[in-house]
Amino acid sequence: MLYYLFNYLDENFDLAGAGVFQYISFRSGLAIIISLLISMAFGKKFIQFLQKKQIGESVRDLGLEGQKEKQGTPTMGGVIIITCILIPALLLCELKNIYVILLIISTLWTGMLGFLDDYIKVFKKNKDGLSGKFKIVGQIGLGLIVGLVLFFHDAVVVRQYEGHAFSFNNGQEVSSHSKTHVTAEYVESMIVKKKTTINAADTYHDEKSTITTIPFFKDNELDYGNILPFLGKDYTWIVYVLVVIVVVTAVSNGANITDGIDGLAAGTSAIIGSTLGILAYVSGNTVFADYLNIMYLPNTGEIVIFSFAFVGACIGFLWYNSYPAKVFMGDTGSLCIGGIIAVIALAIRKELLIPILCGIFLVENLSVIMQVSYFKYTKKKYGEGKRIFKMSPLHHHYQKSGMHESKIVTRFWIVGVMLAIVALATLKLR
């Protein structure tokens, strides 16, 4: 809303300084500031409200040190995160942008899904919360919406280069460039070198595509349409939507499982969100996309603002959620942050980076799968179930080993930063 207001003032009244709202970098920085300020102003009052209404966490006895002290800690703090994301996004983003609309829908959808789970736990006194089947159905529903929109919407495009040669007005042809995606800057540099003119519109165009980025490969593009060629191009959307559903479900559940000790999910998500914001910025900027030789994605610049509002919300929530936590995010927050991360990664076509960038989520997920599978296998074979870890998810294993949870969280953050650096390095390491 502020974006439209200041654009109006700049265009009609030439108000000094109003033009700064055209810059994504300025609005991204402002998004973090507003998000942090809201968390400071709103977070404390919301926690007091939760305490007054006795909306507290019912902690299961897992035999972990310090667990009893957590009993009754206010939960459903994910409302703080959602509020601190949506307000800056509504104020600073271009609301007509399809990616912004999709991210807002994803935030509300997963937030409501998590809220239902927390509501059942707190108010219905059902410790199991929302049935796992209903959670999966909700995540599949979001994946279906996201996949269909990203596949069919006209504004979701990739800038494609039409050939491997430029035809200039003087009749000379140049074929010194082989990459699939080019930017206006490259065309202009060729014009300068050849001292001639060219119609840029005849050189590249924006088109619908199902390509994505494969990390560490030189020719780092995968077309989902080539995965099952026997289906034909008319059914590529089925493959793509299935991939989106898997990504949304996996990342959302991964964030949910990671939210087990104070500050772990929020801090890890802030690191991931910062990295995705950087990746969104270079993918939506013609200069950086050309320099890094990556695909240029028109209209994705607004994702940067949403990403940094997300980062500000996670950092602001850490103010209250760091050890010892004054509030838990609950499924309201954990399902939401996982859904947002998944949708941003899909929108900027970096979903194949998720196993690296979201490595903490992945390992936490795998530790549960391995523990459960091995226990069932050994119980069936030997009549007695055995465990790989002292407890799963993995962070509980370290707690059982005697490590303090604040140290576990700090070390997980350090690993998260290292994974983020590796993810960013894939821009050049191929």
* pLDDT of 60: 67
End-to-end CA distance of the chain: 41
Band of residue 128 on the pLDDT scale cut at 50, 70, 90: confident
Instruction: Tokens for 245, please give them.
Output: 């559903």
pLDDT tens digits, 63-103: 676 677 788 899 999 999 999 999 999 999 999 999 999 99
pLDDT, average across residues 210-224:
86
CA 113 to chain centre: 17
Length of the chain: 430
d(CA 381, CA 148): 44
Band of residue 143 on the pLDDT scale cut at 50, 70, 90: very high
pLDDT tens digits, 235-250: 889 999 999 999 999 9
Element (H, E) at 303: helix 301-321
| Cβ atoms of 105 and 145 closer than 8 Å | yes
* pLDDT of 61: 62
* pLDDT of 251: 97
pLDDT, average across residues 197-203:
47
pLDDT, average across residues 164-183:
42
* pLDDT of 123: 87
Nearest CA to 79 out of 344, 332, 336, 400 is that of: 332
* pLDDT of 216: 87
d(CA 271, CA 248): 19
* pLDDT of 415: 98
Using only C-alpha atoms, the chain has a radius of gyration, in whole angstroms, of: 24
* pLDDT of 65: 67
Lowest mean pLDDT among 11-15, 139-143, 159-163, 242-246: 159-163
Which residue is listed with tokens 């279906």?
144
* pLDDT of 211: 92
17-21, 27-31, 177-181, 198-202, range with greatest mean pLDDT: 27-31
* pLDDT of 366: 96
- Higher per-residue pLDDT: 163 or 143: 143
279-291 b/e with 16+ CB inside 10 Å = b? bbbbbbbeebbbe
d(CA 7, CA 3): 6
- Higher per-residue pLDDT: 370 or 217: 370
**CA quadruple 274, 39, 91, 25: dihedral positive or negative?**
negative
39-43, 86-90, 192-196, range with greatest mean pLDDT: 86-90
| Cβ atoms of 406 and 323 closer than 8 Å | yes
Return the domain boundaries, the chain: 26-58+68-155+227-282+300-346+353-425, 159-207
* DSSP state letters, 372-388: HHHHHHHHHHHSS---S
* pLDDT of 203: 63
Band of residue 161 on the pLDDT scale cut at 50, 70, 90: low
Beta bridge partners of 61: none
Which backbone phi and psi does 171 adopt, to 5 degrees?
90, -10
Instruction: Tokens for 202, please give them.
Output: 């005849």
CA 285 to chain centre: 19
